[in-house]
Amino acid sequence: MPYPKILTVVQARMGSSRLPGKVLLPLAGQPLLVRMVERVQRARLAGTVVVATTTDAADDAIAELCAAHGMACFRGDALDLLDRHYQAACHYGADVVLKIPSDCPLIDPAVIDEVVGFYLDFAERYDFVSNLHPATFPDGNDVEVMPFEALETAWREAKRPLEREHTTPFFWENPDRFRIGNVTWDAGKDFSMSHRWTIDYPEDYSFISAVYDALYNPNPAFGLDDIMRLTTERPDIAQLNARYAGVNWYRNHLDELKTVDSSQTRKI
């Protein structure tokens, strides 16, 4: 059987109500999006990595950044991210699609390989694999994997706005229909609600910048264990965005989601 053609989709846009233009903020001398794509490309199983942005004029800046740095770019619907992922998969002829949001500039390539490797090892057993249901890794290591056929089914049949906007809820909200696989952190711990490594607020940028300042120059390939060690040794860094730990998009949809409850999110 030929090796599947893997496409990793990094969704990105300029618009952000809490931190506009966050993907272009500087990290270790380059825009955040460039540093993040570098990390994703370090994963052995990431395949082709494409930045999927929107057709809005505001996102011309992202397309120009991709062109300047030799990063693949695909432009699609601004609000229907399920359609954007599907159209990108069609464009690149993908057999397997990875979804990774651009607000994860500390994502560990080894985590990507672990989740994708699990999917590839058990592809006949699962229709959707992630490390989010339930989540155990520090927030900001989000990896979701699906075969193209499953993505096409969701694209064709998903109707609810949250299913279109967030790409994958159609899978994990229908466990009776889709075979759902999950990868948990092998440390045997759950830091998903206590360790926030994603970016949505200015405090998150302060935290991520401090991590890059401390770790990037000595080792551009720093990983999850390095960040854990740093935040243990430097609790002042860990505290920079601690007030937002556990805050995620679920909080706005608890009345609509069947498989997520209030223990998996926190209101501000």
Q: What is the pTM of this model?
A: 0.97
For the segment 87-106, the average pLDDT, to the nearest whole number, is: 98
Whole-angstrom Cα distance, residue 57 to residue 263? 38
Tell the burial category of 162 from Cβ atoms under 10 Å away from its Cβ (0-12, 13-18, 19+): middle
Q: Where are the beta strands (DSSP E) in 68-206?
A: 72-76, 96-101, 128-130, 144-147, 180-182
Q: What are the strands of the beta sheet with 6-11, ordered from one edge?
A: 72-76, 48-54, 6-11, 96-101, 144-147, 128-130, 180-182
DSSP character at residue 53: E
pLDDT tens by residue, 114-129: 999 999 999 999 999 9
For the segment 151-160, the average pLDDT, to the nearest whole number, is: 98
- Helix H segments across 93-147? 109-121
Predicted confidence at residue 268, as pLDDT, reads 82
List C-alpha distances in Å: 177 to 22, 57, 154, 257. 37, 39, 11, 16
Is a pLDDT exceeding 90 seen at residue 106?
Answer: yes
Q: What domains appear along the chain, each with residue ranges and CATH number?
A: 6-189 (3.90.550.10)
For the segment 144-161, the average pLDDT, to the nearest whole number, is: 98
Instruction: Work out the pLDDT band at 1, boundaries 50, 70, 90.
Output: low
Residue, of 104 and 18, whose pLDDT is higher:
104
List C-alpha distances in Å: 243 to 83, 128, 140, 142, 188. 34, 32, 16, 20, 24
| % residues pLDDT > 90 (the chain) | 96
Whole-angstrom Cα distance, residue 257 to residue 261? 8
Q: Helices then strands (H, E): number in the chain?
A: 10, 9
pLDDT tens by residue, 193-215: 999 999 999 999 999 999 999 99
Got the DSSP string for 237-261? HHGGGGGGTT--GGGG-TTT-SS--
Predicted confidence at residue 15, as pLDDT, reads 85
Is a pLDDT exceeding 90 seen at residue 2?
Answer: no
> Of the ranges 12-16, 47-51, 85-89, 205-209, which one carries the lowest mean pLDDT score?
12-16
Is a pLDDT exceeding 80 seen at residue 188?
Answer: yes
Is a pLDDT exceeding 90 seen at residue 111?
Answer: yes
pLDDT tens by residue, 210-258: 999 999 999 999 999 999 999 999 999 999 999 999 999 999 999 999 9
Is a pLDDT exceeding 90 seen at residue 99?
Answer: yes
List C-alpha distances in Å: 223 to 159, 214, 242. 38, 13, 20
Instruction: Work out the pLDDT band at 3, boundaries 50, 70, 90.
Output: confident
For the segment 37-53, the average pLDDT, to the nearest whole number, is: 98
Q: Could you tell me which residues come within 8 angstroms of residue 178 by beta carbon, excluding any fewer than 6 positions away?
A: 127, 128, 150, 171, 172
Whole-angstrom Cα distance, residue 253 to residue 231? 31
98 near 145, Cβ under 8 Å? yes
Q: Look over the chain and give the mean of its residue pLDDT values, rounded to a whole number.
A: 96
List C-alpha distances in Å: 7 to 33, 87, 89. 17, 12, 7
> Of the ranges 29-33, 108-112, 186-190, which one carries the lowest mean pLDDT score?
186-190
